[in-house]
Chains A and B, each alone.
Chain A
């Protein structure tokens, strides 16, 4: 566990040193919302109906943007190799990195989501459901995404490839996340979807660290 906290602290230090990099995906989220508003003509009914979809899709994409840097810096300066080679058990530092990524992307976006909901005219009664789905759904995004980030870390043009690998795997999270908010707006029960999001996050938590470990070893082999 000590290994976990040490890595987490290190991630925090690095992130605080480059806050603009942390802020970029969040700015992207609001920029995307603005573009949607402009594209739909800004009518409040249309925006309200599509608000769950817009917010969730942009959260997915913003998350994807921040994933590219997850292992890149450590890969380039050689720290990653040391971590993968030396840490026992090897998945702990990986888990710490993903946790830090989630805190600065998923959790940060959850905290900013009320603002996004406000400018998209999402009814206030649907806000708690939106926040809950984001809170339990975004860990799955960071975890599943970390596999894609690990697979593409050594490649020169990994960006579009990363999107191609990861976005299809994000489909269930989007369906349950946006679906729950829509059902709440339609006056239906949403517990089922929220449980499903939890299940996906839990399953990802148990499987993906090992997949990341394997993928990082493969990526390091070729360098």
Chain B
């Protein structure tokens, strides 16, 4: 199937629903496997850090959640663009399906950061660059959530959120830069794909596994919510009624 054809088919929720039947299960299974492996490996088998001792192990949750929380917002920006330009129904659903996941991942990242900060920095909360920009990201997610709740008509709400997500996505680099400039107490990113890891391989590998796992979780969550959203929004169409009554979900 050519790209152009795929593009046109993405406009049809029905096609997407039927094609993606097994995907949440596949992604969910992969996520479970990877997260279990990575977490067990990281918590039980990776060696303790020579400076931070065992407290560094929370990194295996903290880093993946932070990464996926930021990626999720960027995905929303892309979906917002697609919705505004091509009026793609699916993009609107993506936009509404990501918010709860992004919100919870951002909150989890802030929480694990606080737990790590207590033994390491001696305080639950430190106003440094990265924690602050994560907090701002949390507020951005809240804003999107609140805007959608405030507008009664679904289609209007979707497009309004798309505008907000786009403006937010343009703003994220500026916010990040300004906050970085503001104060930097936090260590530089401990996980980048472009540079050789600064930690030993045995500590880095579980992190990689967990990062992949949390992205699979993102995929599973997004696809599951999308399929549910399709059923909800298209509930009056014949094909949805057939699917539901025949139990071929």
Contacts and interface: CB of A to CB of B under 8 A. Distances in A.
Interface of A: 144, 147, 151-152, 154-155, 157-158, 161, 164-165, 167-169, 171-172, 175-176, 179, 196, 200, 203, 207-208, 211, 214-215, 218-219, 221-222
A172 B153 contact: no
Contacts of B146: 161, 164-165
A151 B146 CA distance: 12
Which of A164, A171, A211, A219 is packed against the most chain B CB atoms within 10 Å?
A171
Contacts of A200: 174
B136 A219 contact: no
Which of B159, B174, B175, B177 is packed against the most chain A CB atoms within 10 Å?
B174
B151 A211 contact: no
B77 to A, nearest CB: 13
A222 B163 contact: no
A208 B170 CA distance: 11
Which of B142, B153, B178, B182 is packed against the most chain A CB atoms within 10 Å?
B178
B167 interface: yes
Interface string B133-147: 000100110110011
Interface residues of B, number: 29
Contacts of B166: 211
B150 interface: yes
Q: Please give me the 5 A-B residue pairs with the lowest Cβ-Cβ distance, nearest first.
A: A172-B178, A168-B139, A222-B156, A175-B178, A165-B143
B150 A155 contact: yes
26 contacts: A147-B163, A151-B160, A151-B163, A155-B150, A164-B139, A164-B142, A164-B143, A165-B146, A167-B139, A168-B139, A168-B168, A169-B168, A171-B136, A171-B178, A171-B179, A172-B171, A172-B175, A172-B177, A172-B178, A175-B181, A196-B178, A200-B174, A211-B166, A214-B163, A215-B160, A222-B151
B84 interface: yes
Contacts of A219: 156, 160
A169 B167 CA distance: 9
A168 B169 CA distance: 12
A157 B156 CA distance: 17
Contacts of A164: 139, 142-143, 146
A64 to B, nearest CB: 13
B164 interface: yes
Given A164-B142, A214-B84, A218-B160, A175 B150 contact: no
A15 B175 CA distance: 33
Given A151-B160, A215-B163, A169 B147 contact: no
A164 B147 CA distance: 9
B182 A179 contact: yes
Contacts of A172: 171, 174-175, 177-179
A208 B171 CA distance: 11
A207 B178 contact: no
A179 B177 CA distance: 14
Contact of A147 (B151, B167, B179): B167
Given A218-B159, A222-B151, A151 B164 contact: yes
Contact of A175 (B142, B164, B167, B179): B179
Given A175-B178, A203-B170, 9 more contacts: A152-B150, A155-B150, A164-B142, A168-B136, A169-B168, A172-B177, A175-B181, A175-B182, A214-B159
A215 B174 CA distance: 22
B151 A165 contact: no
Contacts of B167: 144, 147, 169, 207-208, 211
B70 to A, nearest CB: 14
Which of A154, A168, A208 is packed against the most chain B CB atoms within 10 Å?
A168
